[in-house]
Amino acid sequence: MRHSARKHLLLLAVFLLFIGSGFTAGSDDQSKGRKATRQRPDSSYSADTAHFNPLAIPELRPPPEQPALVIDTGVTTAADPRFGSFNSAHRELFIPASELRPPAPAMSIPVLDRREPNRYDLNEWEEGRIFSSNLYTDSSFYATRVNGDKHLSSRDQGEFYETNYRYELFSTKQNGDSLALNLDTTYTNDRRPYRHGFTVNQATIDSRTRRSRLVLGHAFPEMSEFSMTQSVLGFYGMQKFDYTNVSGFSGYYANEREDLDNPRYIAGFRLEHARDNSLKLGFNVVGTEDGRDNAASSDELPSMTNRVYSLDINMRPTENIFVDAEIAQSDTNYDKRDGPGEQKGDAYRFKTGYERENYNIEAGFEQGDTAFISPLGMTPRDERAYYARLYYELNRYISTRLSQRIARDNLANYQRSTIYREQPEMQVTVRPSEYYKNMRVDFHYQPLHEYSDQKGFMDRYRDLLWLEFNHRAGQFAYYAGLSQTIDKDDVNVLNDRDILRYDFTLTWEYDRLKKVYSSYSHEKLNYKRAGGMDETTWIGFGGSSRFHENILVSLDYMRENVDPITTSSNHDRINLSLTREYSATARLIIDLEGNRSSYSNNNGEFDDYTARLRYLKAY
């Protein structure tokens, strides 16, 4: 497979040289993506300087107008006190409802080009070409001191430095051809976050024309769900013909530096045909092979070669009706030295729906055989599932989301009981007042039932519920949250437990540039049958103030009290930060932080202190 990947690389490189210069889809296709169902009106790419300033460094952006209402205080819950479920064949990781609630929806603001025609304000304009070059630096020096039981601390004592450089080069012609370079590296002597002290976060050269594209370095190929949804370190190319797109990639799958010691070689090919958005057909071939050809590797470790073939179809007969389906087959050999280790499996998925401006209805099914393996794709391996979803926005005050998913695993009956999962879900968002536009109430409820085909193996009910309230009136902003988990196991009663948690945060912005806040959270984990209770309390307060429009001072304090049935502990953290803004693209940050932790029953205590000097600059 490794030699075939190199052959694919050579063949595709020769193919690209003879077909055209660079590989891309048009700019409109890139903005909406192959999976998009409709175009966003009045959105276009802008090469204005505002698009690059201050760009990729969050600290260089102005502070948000809305205060941060939610504080992440999630902790790992204590283990079962009786440890009775450890010997059970169906023991699963238990996560409370407060940690399982869906994330907040991400807001995306498109970059619009509203300048008058023939107006350009970039670094350079000559010979019909727009050129922009930007360099962002983030350098910090910090020292850490640890006292007491140093092995309990998550920090190392010493003096450290960390520098991050990001360089962006963008050049485009009036006809749409463009060339982009992105390079992001980090260098530090702190071995905890970076084992080797140096890492390349991104290195990409992207060349585009109206009908072609070529990417060298880190690329994200557009394939199907079953075949490829990951990134590749190598190259990716695409060429457009009249109604046909041909694309391919080859390289390595390596998320970290250590992955290159025993690399996974990957290569893929996609052929897509579409006259318009009403019908798209795609054929995908993706192959992977584990490498064992370096001095640090061991032939005793198993290796894997895998090939995935898939055919996907996307139909939109009308503006409101859509159909998305895919069929795939995988051929896997777990060990190149063992011929009988080969196995094949199939996978299917089908989804159809109807959408309007204020609601969306969709239903479908998906199945993946036990032998179906796609290392780079998203697959329901060893599972058959049916699902339906409804998104409905009644008006600007009420919106709902309803869904139901029924799944069955163990399709090959591998000497273990089959598990059924019934997972309904309901979420309601209410904005009750037109006068208080920032008031919002969110309610989420998910009753989950898991049971086995054979009696006595699994029969578990788990109800997850959370309720949140956000409000802003005058100078005050409020946040209140309540979550509850009811877990009942009819087979292993030691798993029966209830979790109740509530959070409250109050923020007072007594001036446009000054604010203070306080927060309180409490969580109770009650073991119904095993006996005992774990309690955790968080208390925090702080504030920030801006002086002379360019100096920001912030102070935060958090105390966490953990009282499980085993060993209780107290954790205190205080942080003082001063930010000096020299210009729109330059910041100097001085950060002081202290932590103190103590454990009961003479199990140790420690405290650590960190002083950091950080400078951010965009050129």
What is the model's pLDDT at position 326? 95
User: In the chain, pLDDT over 70 holds for what percent of residues?
Assistant: 74
For residue 299, what pLDDT band results from cuts at 50, 70 and 90? low
Q: How many CB atoms sit inside 10 A of residue 358's CB? A: 12
Q: Return the pLDDT at 359.
A: 87
- The yes-or-no verdict on residue 105 having pLDDT over 50 is no
Residue 424 above 70 pLDDT? yes
Lowest mean pLDDT among 37-46, 110-119, 133-142: 37-46
pLDDT beyond 90 at 54: no
What value does the mean pLDDT take over residues 205-226?
Answer: 91
In the numeric block, which tokens belong to residue 339?
């011929």
pLDDT for position 69: 35
How far, CA to CA in Å, does 475 sit from each of 469, 509, 515, 516, 541? 17, 5, 9, 11, 17
Q: What's the average model confidence in pLDDT over 345-359?
A: 92
Q: What is the pLDDT of residue 585?
A: 83
Per-residue confidence (pLDDT) for residue 317, from 0 to 100: 92
Q: What is the tens place of the pLDDT at every residue in 482-531?
A: 999 999 999 888 889 999 999 999 999 988 788 999 999 999 999 988 88
Share of the chain above pLDDT 90, in %: 37
Other C-beta atoms lying within 10 Å of the C-beta of residue 582 = 11
Cα 429 to its chain centre, rounded Å, is 23
Answer yes or no: is pLDDT of 33 > 60.
Answer: no
CA 590 to chain centre: 30
User: How much is the pLDDT for 337?
Assistant: 56
The answer to whether residue 114 scores a pLDDT higher than 70 is no
Average pLDDT over residues 93-119: 45
> Which residues in 267-280 are b (16+ Cβ under 10 Å) and which e?
bbbbebeeeebeeb
List of residues 6+ apart from 176 with CB closer than 8 A: 26, 27, 208, 209, 210
Structure-token match 């950091």, residue found: 612
Of 217, 49, 203, the closest CA to residue 131 belongs to 49
Is residue 301 very low, low, confident or very high in pLDDT (cuts 50, 70, 90)?
low
332 versus 59: the higher-pLDDT residue is 332
The residue that leads in pLDDT, 611 or 304, is 611
Q: With the C-alpha atoms ordered 323, 329, 334, 336, is the resulting torsion angle positive or negative?
A: negative
Q: Considering only CA atoms, which of 579, 575, 592, 512 is closest in space to residue 541? A: 575
pLDDT tier, 91 (very low <50, low <70, confident <90, very high otherwise): very low
Would you state the pLDDT for residue 48? 37
Domain boundaries, the chain: 130-203+556-561+574-618, 211-337+346-357
Alpha-carbon distance of 613 to 578, in angstroms, equals 10
Identify whether the C-beta of residue 282 lies closer than 8 Å to the C-beta of residue 312: yes
Q: Looking at the predicted structure, is the pLDDT value of residue 432 above 70?
A: yes
pLDDT of res. 503: 93
Mean pLDDT for 234-254 is 91
Q: Is the pLDDT of residue 360 over 50?
A: yes
Residues 225, 377 contacting (CB under 8 angstroms): yes
| Residue linked to tokens 């700019």 | 27
Q: In the structure encoding, which two tokens stand for residue 540, read together? A: 């925090």
- Provide the whole-model pTM: 0.72
Band (295; pLDDT cuts 50, 70, 90): very low
CA–CA gap between residue 243 and residue 27 (Å, rounded): 17
Phi-psi map region of 456: left, alpha, beta (phi>0 left; psi -120 to 50 alpha): left
State both tokens at 284.
Answer: 């995908």
Residues 6+ apart with CB under 8 A from 54: 60, 61, 136, 584, 585, 618
Please compute the mean of the pLDDT values over residues 440-465 and round it to a whole number. Answer: 89
Cα gap 523→531, rounded to integer Å: 17
pLDDT given for residue 249 in this prediction? 94
pLDDT tens column, 264-282: 889 999 999 998 889 999 9
Q: What is the mean pLDDT of residues 567-577?
A: 91
Reduced to 3 states (helix: H, G, I; strand: E, B; else coil), residue 12 is helix
Distance CA(482)–CA(442), nearest Å, equals 10
Is the pLDDT reported for residue 137 higher than 80? Answer: yes
Of 5-9, 33-37, 378-382, 578-582, the poorest mean pLDDT is in 33-37
141-200 pLDDT, tens digit per residue, is 999 998 888 887 778 888 999 999 999 888 888 777 888 999 988 888 887 777 777 778
pLDDT of 65 over the 60 cut: no
**How much is the mean pLDDT over the chain?**
78
